Structure 1
């Protein structure tokens, strides 16, 4: 049989077959591996030399629209002082027409010695233009004096905002910091983004992903809430895919606010969901509707994740839930009963506990979602919660690079005791849960090899070992970027492995990440990326056409 492609080299299959020396590809899927390849001839055959080939990397929690937008917005992350921040704003403002907003991304007070810009100083730097700086966590933003006037912040001070906060100074004046749901005040003015801009962001993000060996990504929240940029975001995905510019496979999570009540409560036909009864699982291997994203709490970086014990250096503060816990629980259960898988954003241990309770209720009721239930992040997971997570088969999708980038700051907020229970991975594996390493990009950088290295080392910028008992081996870390996320996104056996019948998604590396010294993993070169048997990143021409 004359097939499309035979590749020869060194292949880490991430299956019981171990390492093989050849694979056969036909019509976008792997036809055979190892000795079984010898029964075929191919129109194209390539020897990959000294490279190492793994299944294509899968990021089960990123934000593609958001990431693509940050590539064109003002990046304020390089600023290490307030003066440097104001200078960056002034530079961008000089290129911005009068009256238009200066929009920046990557703000993190930890880079600025825990200082926040003054709204009046920001306004002077912008030449009177409104300024909107998005926090790198996605759970807060900073605006200037003019923006505070435009969004009417003063009008909301007396009643407050449920699930969010307009931060004020000692005199009761807004400081420009908006937390969680308070960010909707800005979004109500600025959104929705034009469809063409979202399409450009997706095209840019997808093109970047393949340079890092990524072949599949889950966009963890679109179309609604503070995480969405337009109710037409899925339309943008379809348009980009139809043009052939979505070179990576995507699964998307609608944010839970887009799910609405349909029909009369208590009557046949009543459900919580999207018009026409669309639910998780719709689509194909190129573009699929994933779980609904439910935000239960905030972030550790912003001290808004809901903890059972107060934050260090924040006396009396436990963070907060995104809404009334009972109401959030009821909505999540209703969505799952209507056929939606649910992904629950929970960083603090109290939010994790709420998620466990939701999952237990569904398991007890015999509700089987079309895709696996999951928790996003798990910033603090108590020892006794690990066993309960396993009992209800509720895996946590974690971000080990947070420890490399923000671990010193998180440790100050949490203290050493809770740091040992933070972003746990080894404990999850030992409890029998599937583990996926993810980026949460653009909250942190998203190169998979650097994230794998972080999961193995778990060291902060100061060199502190952050939860050393949770370190993974190199093989475990590779599995957590291939076969693990494939299972957690509902594609076990079809993605994340090199096996007959699986999609022909491969990452070609200059070295074996399971064999080099740990400190070198992040510097391994991505030689080529193959999606469906087609080289979508091949700067050296190794694969060819």
Structure 2
């Protein structure tokens, strides 16, 4: 038998319970055909000596925002700002570097890094040379406009009416400060969006190029085509165009925002529901590009104190956060999508929002519909002990972001208090309760290099070095499993991804060291030597693969 490639002399962590370790793996037509003794008597066009390097299944980020991330690589960047002056300097430079009177758009604002202060609308007017400014908060749940932009959206001197679940922040005199929260961001989005498809395609190319450098072979984009999370009603077409043009260097699953789904007519025997025209639903596509669940926002963010809590935020007895719409309307919309075959991905960060989301999942579980992939809770920022078994009984996965602990943990402790911080961004509790734990980043809300996120799973340390939920720590092997097996199962691909075994897709990462053997503080520093997607090499820092004729190529070929 002649196959495409055999990688040998490797230290392979297979993540398969039946065969945890191996030293060689054979690949043919993008699929793993065997390991070790299963390759006896097999010849290969290419034999690659891995020189003892560690090989693991391809990393899979179950919740990121690929278009949004790619756009941050194009737009002005304020993510490194530690003072308001830093932000003003970035905006001034952007104004000087571009011509005309169009919008200046910046990404990565973190007001916690600037002492809790947002940029001043009037100062932004001065440094932008009279151009409208739109600065996106890193959480995605807020933005800042200057006075010129506020005038364009009809909010120069007073707060206009905004959709339920949002707010135009005003000062003591009632004058808008420039901060828009949650659904109020639609005021600016309806002026600037949609982005051209070519811009979205370029953003995807830039995003997946970075993914390849980090060992990511699969990524789920958690919301496209609608709401404040979408960039164009045709966003999925941009994904298809990028795939056809061989710009995607990773497999992509995309969640369509619930508000992009419409009522579906049909036969009287068909269940009434909402969806895409022609009845397209979760699962459509292939291993390179697939429709995932529909994304549903129930509440906001801990960073912006808009996530719905059953108890008030520390130091703010009047603020419990809020739902992002009428509860009954949200519930019926979610169940209507589920009836037509859509899996549900419910963004729920506060424990109050989780109570609401659990009610939806419990009703969905009683429904006779059977979506082709698991329902999910996105984030699960605060989950009370009494909610864990109820959550497990729904069969839903929970998709937390442990790297939030490293970046935002000190601020979250301040808002939640010591007790609720112990219930926040859990991991160990999920595994103990039998709940699937995937790996995810929510990039660009936080950096998304998988190995660094795994380190946060293991250490659970804030930026100041404080322990955050000590009892929720997991081992390095469990963290690796989350980013491989866990994400595969959570996205409905457990039978084809996540392990190095015969019949699985040939998605592999070659590492300079073993993440399960190094000290915890070194996991994020391990070099990614090569990334292989479907048998093709998308990244090769090692040079081992590019030296072999016919191995390196486009993942979309």
What is the TM-score of this pair, normalised by structure 1?
0.98
Shift in Å, 1:156: 7.4
Q: How does 1:480-495 map to 2 (within 5 A)?
A: 480-495=482-497
**Equivalence for 1:358:** 360
Structure 2: distance between partners of 1:540 and 1:158: 56
1:453 and 1:518 in contact (8 A); partners too: yes
2:75 and 2:105 in contact (8 A); partners too: yes
**Equivalence for 2:460:** 458
1:344 maps to which of 346, 350, 364: 346
**Equivalence for 1:245:** 247
**Equivalence for 2:2:** 2
**Equivalence for 2:535:** 533
**Equivalence for 1:442:** 444
Structure 2: distance between partners of 1:525 and 1:466: 27
Task: Provide closer, same or farther for how the CA distance between residues 406 and 119 of structure 1 changes in structure 2, counting only shifts above 3 A.
Answer: same
**Equivalence for 1:205:** 207
2:340 and 2:369 in contact (8 A); partners too: no
Shift in Å, 1:493: 2.5
Q: How does 1:3-42 map to 2 (within 5 A)?
A: 3-8=3-8, 9-16=10-17, 17-42=19-44
**Equivalence for 2:196:** 194
Q: How does 1:80-91 map to 2 (within 5 A)?
A: 80-91=82-93
**Equivalence for 2:430:** 428
**Equivalence for 2:263:** 261
Quick check: 132-141 or 44-53, which moved more? 44-53
Query: Would you say how many aligned residue pairs link Structure 1 and Structure 2?
Result: 545
2:264 and 2:279 in contact (8 A); partners too: no
Quick check: 282-291 or 267-276, which moved more? 267-276
Shift in Å, 1:425: 0.7
**Equivalence for 2:334:** 332
**Equivalence for 2:554:** none
Task: Provide closer, same or farther for how the CA distance between residues 489 and 264 of structure 1 changes in structure 2, counting only shifts above 3 A.
Answer: closer
Structure 2: distance between partners of 1:262 and 1:497: 39
What is the TM-score of this pair, normalised by structure 2?
0.96
1:68 and 1:201 in contact (8 A); partners too: yes
**Equivalence for 1:371:** 373
Structure 2: distance between partners of 1:127 and 1:416: 46
For the residue of structure 2 that corresponds to 1:381, the secondary structure is coil
Structure 1: distance between partners of 2:356 and 2:163: 22
Quick check: 514-523 or 96-105, which moved more? 96-105
Q: How does 1:128-143 map to 2 (within 5 A)?
A: 128-143=130-145
Structure 1: distance between partners of 2:267 and 2:181: 34
**Equivalence for 1:215:** 217
Structure 1: distance between partners of 2:248 and 2:57: 19
Shift in Å, 1:265: 11
Shift in Å, 1:155: 8.7
Structure 1: distance between partners of 2:518 and 2:270: 59
2:404 maps to which of 402, 405, 409: 402
For the residue of structure 2 that corresponds to 1:91, the secondary structure is helix
For the residue of structure 1 that corresponds to 2:263, the secondary structure is strand
For the residue of structure 2 that corresponds to 1:122, the secondary structure is helix
Structure 2: distance between partners of 1:432 and 1:262: 36
| Residue 283, structure 1, aligned to residue 285, structure 2 | yes
Task: Provide closer, same or farther for how the CA distance between residues 291 and 105 of structure 1 changes in structure 2, counting only shifts above 3 A.
Answer: same
Quick check: 151-160 or 481-490, which moved more? 151-160
Structure 2: distance between partners of 1:483 and 1:113: 40
Segments of 5+ residues of structure 1 without an aligned counterpart are none
